[in-house]
Amino acid sequence: MSTDDLNEAQDAPEVGERARLSKTARHERIVRELMASSTLRVSELAAELNVSTETIRRDLFELNEKGLINRTYGGAVRPLGSEPAVSERHTLMVSEREAIAATAVKFIKPNEVVAIGAGATTTHVARRMAAECRDVTVITHSFSVATVLAANPTLTVIMCPGRYNGREGMMVGSETIEFLQSYNANWAILGASGITTEGLSEAEPGAASVYKTMMLRAVETLVVADHTKFSQQALAIWGRWHDIKRLVTDAPPPPAIARAMDRARVELVIARKRGDQ
């Protein structure tokens, strides 16, 4: 019996009789959950996976050595530059994203021009725009955004050219940037992989360059992101707080981020889910 197997066998009296996953299955589960929630704690994983905290710490050590996670004191965070594909993100935080979208579209008026970045939350915004907005011109590099907007014939959709990123369903690259620089917009509506005191960041560097260009070509920038993005650092910073007009999210940010937003005079808008007080 290997050392790991022996250690895990010794866990049994501590955690009861429930069936437990193998180490390989546990590792897959940890990585999958980290992709969905961005942070995990040792105590919560131990309870959920029915093993001791010592076993979870060994799991996290091994996953960290493989570069699949970043260990922290008491748990783990998603590695920089790592995020689920957009097709997976569409199934996560759905009610929160719907609430954010319903709030965000209230700022858009007829005859305005809106640049919309790629992402799961921005696609929810586009879907709500298709239902509620009229006579708006939208510039986007996202195929999912363009597709849902097409349901409303009063919306004019301008699709950016460029190099196709199939994982994210978007166009990126120098051709995309050059195209965007030929347009002005009233709004840039953008998502983020990470939100810190420094500002907004994105796991995909190509997308970050597009978001920054959209932000610079717009009069005002509105960020739409759920609370799981708070205190997460992604690979490429695309915006600082002084560049942002408004953040629409589903929960108050941590105090340090709230102070950074306040210093930059960023308006915080909390979207309430249907049925919330």
Residues 6 or more apart in contact with residue 7 via CB below 8 angstroms = 54, 55, 58
The residues pairing with 140 across neighbouring beta strands, listed in sequence order, are 116, 159
Nearest to 170 by CA among 232, 124, 216, 120: 120
pLDDT tens for each residue of the chain, 277 residues long: 444 544 444 444 444 445 678 888 888 888 777 766 667 889 888 888 989 999 999 998 888 877 677 788 788 876 655 555 555 555 557 889 999 999 999 999 999 999 999 999 999 999 999 999 999 999 999 999 999 999 999 999 999 999 999 888 999 999 999 999 999 999 999 999 999 999 999 988 999 999 999 999 999 999 999 998 898 888 899 999 999 999 999 999 999 999 999 999 999 999 987 766 4
Ordered structural domains, the chain, with CATH: 3-77 (1.10.10.10), 86-270 (3.40.50.1360)
Cα distances (angstroms) measured from residue 107 to each of 100, 205, 277:
12, 28, 22
Chain length of the chain? 277
Tokens 């210093």 sit at which residue?
A: 263
Quote the CA–CA distance of 173 and 52 in Å, as a whole number. 47
Quote the CA–CA distance of 221 and 192 in Å, as a whole number. 12
Residues 6 or more apart in contact with residue 88 via CB below 8 angstroms = 35, 36
Nearest to 210 by CA among 178, 186, 234: 178
Quote the CA–CA distance of 242 and 244 in Å, as a whole number. 6
Asked if residue 83 lies in contact with residue 236, where contact means CB atoms within 8 angstroms, the answer is no
